[in-house]
Amino acid sequence: SQKIEQNSEALNIQEGKTATLTCNYTNYSPAYLQWYRQDPGRGPVFLLLIRENEKEKRKERLKVTFDTTLKQSLFHITASQPADSATYLCALDRSGATNKLIFGTGTLLAVQP
């Protein structure tokens, strides 16, 4: 069956360190992979999109990698801050043809001051 797995445990790191979140998928061939941030009581907010032919994408302190051989994406936040504390969701397009997405269960990141 189709499956997306993210770090099931919460990730606790110290302020200033780099946070690395993992997204693994099986039985998909997505054309794109997206990362969203979700704060408590709010809807997910889009952060980054990476295409299957891109190895890496950066936006300010965020970096995403996409390895279609390993079927894995890594999401990095450098120089992390307490304000980065949130749940981060990865999402894949189901078919490569539309933006109908399937989401991972998310990883809760807590950045300690």
Partner 1 sequence: DAGVIQSPRHEVTEMGQEVTLRCKPISGHNSLFWYRQTMMRGLELLIYFNNNVPIDDSGMPEDRFSAKMPNASFSTLKIQPSEPRDSAVYFCASSGGLAVQETQYFGPGTRLLVL
**Site residues (CB under 8 A) for partner 1?**
31-32, 34, 41-46, 49, 51, 89, 93, 96-106
Q: How far is the CB of 35 from partner 1 (least distance, A)?
A: 11
Q: How far is the CB of 15 from partner 1 (least distance, A)?
A: 28
By beta-carbon proximity to partner 1, the closer residue of 12 and 105 is: 105
* Ramachandran quadrant class, 98 (left: phi over 0; alpha: psi -120 to 50; beta: rest): beta
By beta-carbon proximity to partner 1, the closer residue of 42 and 83 is: 42
Q: How far is the CB of 34 from partner 1 (least distance, A)?
A: 8
Residue 25 · residue 89 · CB < 8 Å = no
Residue 23 · residue 5 · CB < 8 Å = yes
Q: Where are the alpha helices (DSSP H) in 17-96?
A: none
Q: How far is the CB of 105 from partner 1 (least distance, A)?
A: 4
Around 104, how many Cα atoms within 13 Å sit in the side-chain half-sphere?
A: 29
State both tokens at 97: 């043809």
By beta-carbon proximity to partner 1, the closer residue of 17 and 58 is: 58
Torsion of CA 26, 28, 32, 34, to 10 degrees: -40
